[in-house]
Chains A and B, each alone.
Chain A
Amino acid sequence: VIWMTQSPSLLSASTGDRVTISCRMSQGISSYLAWYQQKPGKAPELLIYAASTLQSGVPSRFSGSGSGTDFTLTISCLQSEDFATYYCQQYYSFPWTFGQGTKVEIK
């Protein structure tokens, strides 16, 4: 099993801020990593796959980087609609696993 450590678990920020979320793997996964956004009561939405490829329709203020064991999601200029919970997910090997989540809240 590949263990994932996502940090921070809670991030307080203001509109316009640049924020970064980290995801660290217990072993290398090449670039087989995705990022999701989830709002309360809603299903998650895919933001990024293959560590850095932006899903169609996702705003360019979202970006992903990293390979191997260390990955980062960056939101360059936080908008009001970005306050949500974010998850990383590895699909390098079964069982596929998710990070614990990062809640981005209004400061």
Chain B
Amino acid sequence: EVQLLESGGGLVQPGGSLRLSCAASGFTFSSYAMSWVRQAPGKGLEWVSAISGSGGSTYYADSVKGRFTISRDNSKNTLYLQMNSLRAEDTAVYYCAKSPRDPAAPGAFDIWGQGTMVTVSS
């Protein structure tokens, strides 16, 4: 069964750091681009960052550029999001999501994790 399982969320003070992890199983992890998508409480979805299957290409939303770093360890089938200089507006559920290999859907998300909550508050 294809599965994504996030961890690492929690309560952090403004200016602090947190690292999220996403453990993948049931598919050849290194063959697929992966993303982080977040959802603030009661709000809509916001794409945060994406990384290619090899890890050689990364992309960020302007709202997190310079503060967040996406990475992956294909030997461990794990995706990461290092979040620094956290702000109250970063409070959200963070989902990891897999993109299909279909050339018509390189940026769609066909598999999602259950999400991990990040709360930035003093």
Mark A residues whose CB is within 8 Å of B: 1, 31-32, 34, 36, 38, 43-46, 49-50, 53, 55, 87, 89, 91-92, 94-101
B109 touches A34 (CB 8 A): yes
Known interface pairs A49-B100, A49-B102; A98-B108 also in contact (CB < 8 Å): no
A53, B62: Cα distance in complex, Å = 30
CB distance from A55 to the nearest CB of B (A): 7
A96 touches B47 (CB 8 A): yes
Which single member of A44, A50, A92, A95 contacts B45 (CB below 8 Å)? A44
When distances are taken between beta carbons in the complex, the residues of chain B under 8 Å from A50 are: 102, 104-105, 108
Known interface pairs A50-B105, A55-B110; A43-B59 also in contact (CB < 8 Å): no
When distances are taken between beta carbons in the complex, the residues of chain A under 8 Å from B112 are: 43-45
A91 touches B44 (CB 8 A): no
User: B88 within 8 Å of A by Cβ?
Assistant: no
Q: Which residue of A lies closest to B104 (CB)?
A: A50
When distances are taken between beta carbons in the complex, the residues of chain B under 8 Å from A43 are: 95, 112-115
Known interface pairs A43-B95, A43-B114, A100-B44; A95-B59 also in contact (CB < 8 Å): yes
Known interface pairs A43-B115, A94-B59; A87-B44 also in contact (CB < 8 Å): yes
A91, B115: Cα distance in complex, Å = 21
B44 touches A53 (CB 8 A): no
User: B66 within 8 Å of A by Cβ?
Assistant: no
A96, B99: Cα distance in complex, Å = 13
A50, B100: Cα distance in complex, Å = 12
When distances are taken between beta carbons in the complex, the residues of chain B under 8 Å from A53 are: 104-105
A70, B44: Cα distance in complex, Å = 20
CB distance from A61 to the nearest CB of B (A): 20
1/0 contact string of B75-111 vs chain A (CB within 8 Å): 0000000000000000000010000101011111110
A46 touches B108 (CB 8 A): yes
Q: Which residue of B lies closest to A35 (CB)?
A: B108
CB distance from A10 to the nearest CB of B (A): 13
